[in-house]
Amino acid sequence: MARLDQLLGRLKSGDACTAASLAKELGISTRTLMRDLDDLKELGYPIESDQGRGGGVRLHPRWGIGRLALNYREVIDLLLSISVLEKMQSPLLLENLSSVRNKLFASFPDAQRQNVAQFRRRILVGDLASKHVSGSYQGDLEIPNAHLVLEGFFEKKCLTINYSREDGEQNLRKVEVHYLFLNWPVWYLIAWDYLRSAPRTFRIDRIKEVNLTNESFNIKPLSTFTDELSQFAKAL
């Protein structure tokens, strides 16, 4: 990482440099340099190179968002935030949101774009929560190890959760989180429930404890959850 930082700093300087001169300056082989350049491209830096005599390596003159070196989770956060704003129909900021979203998605490295697209399909954004739902919303900031919910979602790992039903009864459930649904401000887990051997929806603010397991799962198509989502929509 220190070498990548050094290489990136050299490219940011704007000075013309060849692959051979960069490799010599960093004390590495040309092959290693090319691998390092590929790693930087994977991180989102728009690096250009010219082949042949007199060719060089440089950052694109208008490298823009690439300087942030966003990973796919950060991109998902930004895309989701834009989707939420669009759903809220705010009279402010709407004019350029679609353009920002498209440019953000397009700026991501080709190798990672498929991952971003997959995660976007697994995050569903509905309308604003009803007064009944928002009135009973307890917030989700006090859940112990709340970050593990996203860890299980992104890494496709099973979770065990201590879940409190609407009547207050708590029980331990083992779940696969296939989709996330936002009915602002309330998040729901659209999951496969091992206890019921069926799809179930869990409101995130009713999760009292969550733990990550080492068990992996494969994503089920959204059609698997059609009946559950239909019942869930009636309850909103």
At 152-164, the pLDDT tens digits run 998 999 999 999 9
Residues of the chain with pLDDT under 50: 54, 65-66
Q: Where are the beta strands (DSSP E) in 81-232?
A: 123-125, 157-164, 170-183, 186-193, 198-203, 207-216
Question: Among 14, 20, 10, which Cα is nearest to 52's?
Answer: 20
Q: Report pLDDT for 153.
A: 92
Q: Report pLDDT for 201.
A: 95
Give me the amino acid identity at 206: R
Q: Report pLDDT for 89.
A: 65
160 phi/psi in degrees, rounded to 5: -110, 130
Q: How far is CA 116 from CA 78, 109, 193, 224, in A?
A: 11, 10, 26, 22
Q: Report pLDDT for 123.
A: 87
Vertex 64 angle, CA 25 and 106, to 5°: 110
CA dist., res. 164 & res. 126, Å (int): 23
Q: Report pLDDT for 143.
A: 67
Residue for token digits 């728009």? 46
Q: Report pLDDT for 90.
A: 62
Q: Report pLDDT for 177.
A: 97
Q: Where are the beta strands (DSSP E) in the chain?
A: 47-49, 57-59, 123-125, 157-164, 170-183, 186-193, 198-203, 207-216
Contacts for 182 with CB less than 8 Å, ≥ 6 apart: 80, 84, 123, 124, 125, 126, 188
Q: Report pLDDT for 178.
A: 97
Q: Report pLDDT for 111.
A: 65
Give me the amino acid identity at 109: P
Find out whether 137 and 186 touch, Cβ atoms under 8 Å: yes
pTM: 0.65
